[in-house]
Amino acid sequence: MASLANTTAGAVAGARKISNGKPIPFVSSKSLSFPSFRPSISSLKPLIPTKFSSLSPRQCSPNPSPSTSPPSLKSRLRNGETLYGIFLLSFSPTLAEIVAFSGYDFVVIDMEHGPGGIHESLQMLRAVATTNTPAIIRLPESSAVWAKKALDLGPQGIMFPMIDSPKDAKKAVSYCRFPPNGIRGSAHTVVRASNYGINEGYLSNYKEDLLIMCQVETVDGVKKVEEIAAVEGVDCIQMGPLDLSASLGYLWDPGHKKVREMLRTAEKEVLKSDRKDGGAFLAGFAMPHDPPGALGKRGYHMVSGAIDVGLFRNAAVEDVRKFKISLNADSNDSDDDKDSDEKYWSE
């Protein structure tokens, strides 16, 4: 042990000298100073007011520059863009990564109906981070605990389900803010949302950067939707057409006339709110009878048009269908060829 200590001491002493024998100043970790660093996002194309943004596949930006931080979802909405996104229910990082490279404006990581929890959501966030695709986490329920754990992961937005009153909306906002403005628990010095404490400006910017979305998806919620949209801190009202149809007694018929009428009523109440004076934007999910383009024309500024599981299901079903059709076609072709051969030889 003594010889090892002597050898180590000699090596350290030697490392402090250069070839001419002059000592090199010893630098301790305490004397090092690192600038505050916050990973940025590659710049986006010019914003296109009142229309869907031009969607195109993204390229990976492994070395982003701090000077090219793009606008957040919140600022893009305020600039008049209509954004197009997709819900991720599979919790497959591979599918999430493909989706991110495809060029969607945002993704919604769905903990309400998907099988994943906080750990799986973290993997999804990391998958879409390669292209700096903004992610929103939909909570399984509107609660302080779920909101705290989701927000610590650092999504750009958070979606609260089943908001039926202004009181519910105020609680949701309080879950997103630190005291004295809310009740969010704090570990901002070490969580991913602040780049594990490296982003020293997190506490100054988190309120401005975070998009808070409240889902209105019941008859009671629609009756109070104007008041919900006016709650300070609520940025978007996300309509839920399937749950709304169930609330009206038409679970199997979301395209029913009464469901559509109720949805139009809610849309008008949200759209008439003054967004410059704290009003909310309108967000929604497309349905077979109500495609994405129709929502955009009616004033929705955030439109989700697909679900990763649904896209894969449709592709799989179509793949099987085409194969079975090809088998029938080959069978018919073989019969025709046999008839042709028989006719040829009989002649």
Query: 184: Cβ–Cβ under 8 A, 6 or more apart, which residues?
Result: 144, 147, 148, 151, 174, 175, 176, 177, 178
Q: Per residue in 321-330, pLDDT tens?
A: 999 999 988 7
Instruction: Identify which has the larger pLDDT, 50 or 278.
Output: 278
Output b/e per residue, 246-270; b: 16+ Cβ within 10 A. bbbebeeebebeebbebbeebbebb
Q: In the prediction, which pLDDT does 48 show? A: 37
Domain ranges of the chain: 73-316
Rounded average pLDDT over 278-288: 93
* pLDDT > 80? residue 81: yes
Q: Superfamily assignment of 73-316 in CATH?
A: Phosphoenolpyruvate-binding domains (3.20.20.60)
Query: Would you say 270 and 237 are in contact if contact means Cβ atoms under 8 Å apart?
Result: yes
- What does pTM read for this prediction? 0.79
Confidence tier at 135 by pLDDT (50, 70, 90): very high
Residues assigned a catalytic role? 113
Q: Please tell me the predicted confidence (pLDDT) of residue 118.
A: 98
Task: Name the 3-class secondary structure at 156.
Answer: coil
How high does pLDDT run on average in the chain? 84
The Cα–Cα gap between 177 and 184 comes to 5
Residue keyed to tokens 């001491």: 9
Work out the pLDDT band at 276, boundaries 50, 70, 90: confident
- The H or E element containing residue 339 is helix 308-346
How many other CB atoms are there within 10 angstroms of residue 154's CB atom? Answer: 22
pLDDT for 2 beyond 60: no
Nearest to 166 by CA among 117, 227, 92: 227
